[in-house]
Amino acid sequence: MTRKTLKVALLQETDRGSRDANLDAIESGLRDAAKAGAELVLLQELHNGPYFCQRESVEVFDLAETIPGPGTDRIGKLAEELKLVVVASIFEKRATGLYHNTAVVFDRSREIAGKYRKMHIPDDPAFYEKFYFTPGDLGFDPIQTSVGKLGVLVCWDQWYPEAARLMALAGADLLFYPTAIGWDPNDSDEEKARQREAWITVQRGHAVANGLPLLSCNRTGYEADPSNVGSGIQFWGSSFVAGPQGEFLAQAGTDGRELLVCDVDMERSEHVRRIWPFLRDRRIDAYGDLTKRFRD
């Protein structure tokens, strides 16, 4: 890349109670980011509504949107007006009975620059995503924009080093993770701390292993389980930007809405990869077993 510095923003938000209210908050956040000089803004996972995967309900499919559609149209118009690169996250209705958790990238235009469909789909208490989302079929291909190639992944993807590596091998300049993750209120404080630190650590590891800046934007606030079966989720925020050695460039708090703005030195990856040439020393001749589920 030729650019030296990229000013980025992460919009850490709560669910405002309706699609229109959430989009109003996003519009306000994008305008504030543009005023702060940001060129790129990352939004959180499924930002147009609540995190609905705490229960399994066919009625929830009514929340899904086509791409393009009303939600992407509004964000695209703002990207064009404010001259921003925006990474958004949509519950995509591809066809009746076929839905995805999809990241959408706008490059200073209302036109969609590219999409990524979430590849790793969890199915755990309060995170019943397999009921709603078909695994992605677009592969791990960075999206070309005016600020570089964006390696966009989504939430559960962040636990898998293979996903980050494949984006890096395809030429990504930065890694992105729109996210919705939080605590079970019944867990102990010690367990909560372990989970949050593991989440941060694994993503910083992806930045280090690939020598790339990394942006992770999480939800914040408490969302009750609509079925009243579970205890709800306290989303832990903690959105952050890390440099190519895993160093924190900016980090948000755990329990509040926040617009996180910082500068990313786009030349550091070149320098870091020269002193830590991990790609050079990979033993690709010995990695065949990685394509197996398990070595029995």
User: Out of 13, 39, 45, 129, which one is annotated catalytic?
Assistant: 45
Buried b (16+ CB within 10 A) or exposed e, 262-291: bebebebbeebbeeeeeeeeeeeeeeeeee
Q: Is 191 one of the annotated active-site residues of the chain? A: no
3-state secondary structure the chain: CCCCEEEEEEEECCCCCCHHHHHHHHHHHHHHHHHCCCCEEEECCCCCCCCHHHCCCHHHHHHCECCCCHHHHHHHHHHHHHCCEEEEEEEEEEECCEEEEEEEEEECCCCEEEEEECCCCCEECCEEHHHCCCCCCCCCCCEEECCEEEEECCHHHHHCHHHHHHHHHCCCCEEEEEECCEECCCCCHHHHHHHHHHHHHHHHHHHHHHCCCEEEEECEEEECCCCCCCCCEEEECCCEEECCCCCEEEECCCCCCEEEEEEEECCHHHHHHHHCCCCCCCCHHHCHHHHCCCCC
Superfamily of domain 5-291 in CATH is: Carbon-nitrogen hydrolase (3.60.110.10)
- Conformation bin of residue 83: beta by default, left when phi > 0, alpha when psi is -120 to 50: left
Separation of alpha carbons 187 and 120, rounded Å: 25
Length of the chain: 296
The residue to which tokens 């699609």 are assigned? 19
The residue to which tokens 């694994």 are assigned? 202
- Conformation bin of residue 211: beta by default, left when phi > 0, alpha when psi is -120 to 50: left
- pTM score, whole prediction: 0.96
Please provide residue 120's backbone torsions phi and psi, each rounded to the nearest 5 degrees: -95, 120
The residue to which tokens 């009975």 are assigned? 97
Q: Is 262 one of the annotated active-site residues of the chain? A: no
User: Out of 39, 118, 129, 149, which one is annotated catalytic?
Assistant: 118
pLDDT at 95: 97
Q: How far is CA 57 from CA 60, 86, 179, 201, in A?
A: 6, 30, 22, 34
Separation of alpha carbons 268 and 265, rounded Å: 6
User: Out of 39, 53, 92, 155, which one is annotated catalytic?
Assistant: 155
Q: List the chain pLDDT tens, one digit each, 296 residues.
A: 456 999 999 999 999 999 999 999 999 999 999 999 999 999 999 999 999 999 999 999 999 999 999 989 999 999 999 999 999 999 999 999 999 999 999 999 999 999 999 999 999 999 999 999 999 999 999 999 999 999 999 999 999 999 999 999 999 999 999 999 999 999 999 999 999 999 999 999 999 999 999 999 999 999 999 999 999 999 999 999 999 999 999 999 999 999 999 999 999 999 999 999 999 999 999 999 999 999 98
Q: Is 118 one of the annotated active-site residues of the chain? A: yes
pLDDT at 1: 46
- What residue ranges do the domains of the chain occupy? 5-291
The residue to which tokens 């460039």 are assigned? 249
CA triple 248-12-73, angle to 5 deg = 125
